[in-house]
Structure 1
Amino acid sequence: MTERLYYTSDETEGHARVTCCIAEPDGRHAVELDKTLFHPQGGGQPADKGWIAGVPVEEVVQRGESVVHILPQPLESGEVDVLVNAATRMLHSRWHSAGHLIGYAGEQYGWQPVKAHHWPGEGRIVFAAGEYAAVPDAAALTEKIERWQTDRLVRHIEFEEGRRKVRFGELSAYMCGGTHVSSLSEIGSLDITGIKVKKGQLIVNYAIK
């Protein structure tokens, strides 16, 4: 089981211990650490990029309770330096946090977010309809989102029965294992690029600048 430091820390540099290194079928190597700053691909968010012991991390995946780092060469057991690409981390955090804001805004119109895709250039939130759901337009969603951004709401992280929850200001908390900005002021400009209803679900596409 890997300790996930990114759950509670925004640090992108640190140290860890290699606990396991196994050759993959494709010739690369799966490296496990006792603790990691790397966010694996999942939860609608792409994996972090960076280096372990100076070796590029090509993929980060979750396997059971472990976070596995895929490297082009093996590493010996022992202490190593860990460095996450800070620019990529911030980009992913901005897209993921923007998706949460769209989820909050959709809830104001009776929709419940059920699926999210926070990949840069492919932002999309899917909602299920509540009893009194009304389809909002882009301007209505944007107005609510910009108000929260203007208030510069800060991120809060909580744990409930071992499960991580993330919220901004006094907005509701979502169960979430992703990375997020520390303040909504860091997201930048958020554009709603499309809204449609398909098979009873509301689909909102978005982009950030």
Structure 2
Amino acid sequence: MADQKTDPVYHREGQLYAHTTTLSSMAPLSSLPASTQPLFKPPTDTTKTPYIVTCPSTIFHAQGGGQPSDVGTMTLAAPGPHGNDATFTVRQVRKVDPAGAILHLGTFEPEPEQPQPQLGLGLQVRQAVHVPTRVLHSRLHTAGHVVGLAIHLLSRAGEAGLPRDLSDGKASHYPGAAFVENVGLIPGAAKAGIQDKVDELVARDLGVAICFWTGEEARDKCIGGLDGAAVGAGEEVRVVDIGGLGSYPCGGTHVGCLKELGRVVVRGIKRQKGISKVSYEVVDG
């Protein structure tokens, strides 16, 4: 299962919320190698057996890059485990390695009569992402890049009291815990200036483009370069570009333009050991 390769359709079509594919594998979570099982948290409902499902392609974003995984459903067309359509509720999605299988953890309704790994292989699968969750994650991820871009532009211009030598650090785009980090010290008094710059960028309703660049192009054009990522010969780098003003290597999902963000609110700035963490959230209207 783990050595299969899954086509991440969401890399090319981030606004695609329904997709038809086939079933590649299905097995109980307990059958996975001991090294792979810790990637998942078993569902809290202990009355159902957690299964891992794979497909040749998927629209479900796998957790990574600071973005949570998608949730939703897969419907296995008849003749499913009981001779009727079976619904698989997708609760967690993980990628085994950058070029490997994408594993979907969830539970079946109705449950298979027996935990047979080969049961139903090749069946048609109708995937459906939970749209409100995907949209929120996409807004938060794009908003993180907008906050980072605002800091970058202010820093390079020497505005809002930001030092010119700031550099991008890690980020998280989880609801209620979203932040971007910079190497360097951002003064607390810069919060208002960062908020103003973010508001300006959003008001311009800049387009958000997904590009696939060579490693050399991404290294030269992206803010922060490739951030230490290794790119093999002939490999492409997936990049998100914000209105031509700044680009970042990124595997997440995004909105199509900045008006879809609503309002991006800069919540606060914390500094520790030479790192500045700027927290943010998105709100409607």
**1:70 alignment partner, one of 96, 105, 122:** 105
Which amino acid is the alignment partner of residue 76 of structure 1?
Answer: G
Alpha-carbon distance in 2 for matches of 1:120, 1:86: 15
**1:41-78: CA deviation from partner (whole Å, max 9, x where unpaired):** 11111111100113210111111211110121367222
Do residues 94 (structure 1) and 139 (structure 2) align? yes
| Bigger share in strand | 1
Do residues 137 (structure 1) and 190 (structure 2) align? yes
Alpha-carbon distance in 1 for matches of 2:27, 2:169: 36
**1:100-135: CA deviation from partner (whole Å, max 9, x where unpaired):** 011112213142222111011111111113xxx754
Shift of 1:17: 1.2
Shift of 1:196: 2.1
Which amino acid is the alignment partner of residue 4 of structure 1?
Answer: P
Alpha-carbon distance in 2 for matches of 1:184, 1:121: 20
Unaligned runs of 5+ residues in structure 2 are 31-41, 43-48, 76-86, 113-118, 156-163, 214-234
Unaligned runs of 5+ residues in structure 1 are none
Alpha-carbon distance in 1 for matches of 2:186, 2:181: 14
TM-score by length of structure 1 reads 0.93
CA contact (8 A) 1:106 1:112 kept: no
Do residues 8 (structure 1) and 12 (structure 2) align? yes
Inter-CA distance 121–134: structure 2 relative to 1 (3 Å threshold): closer
Alpha-carbon distance in 2 for matches of 1:158, 1:207: 26
Alpha-carbon distance in 2 for matches of 1:196, 1:6: 33
**1:171-193: CA deviation from partner (whole Å, max 9, x where unpaired):** 22100000111010010111111
CA contact (8 A) 1:106 1:113 kept: no
TM-score by length of structure 2 reads 0.69
Do residues 42 (structure 1) and 64 (structure 2) align? yes
Q: Judge which range, 3-12 or 109-118, deviates more.
A: 109-118
Which residue of the partner structure matches residue 181 of structure 1? 255
Which amino acid is the alignment partner of residue 106 of structure 1?
Answer: I
Percent identity over paired residues = 32
The correspondence of residues 1-209 of structure 1 with structure 2, limited to 5 A, is 1-9=5-13, 10-25=15-30, 27-53=49-75, 54-64=87-97, 65-73=100-108, 76-77=120-121, 78-108=123-153, 109=155, 110=164, 111-129=166-184, 135=187, 137-160=190-213, 161-209=235-283
SS of 1:137's equivalent?
Answer: helix
Alpha-carbon distance in 2 for matches of 1:84, 1:51: 7
Alpha-carbon distance in 1 for matches of 2:92, 2:120: 19
Which amino acid is the alignment partner of residue 102 of structure 1?
Answer: V
Number of equivalenced pairs:
206
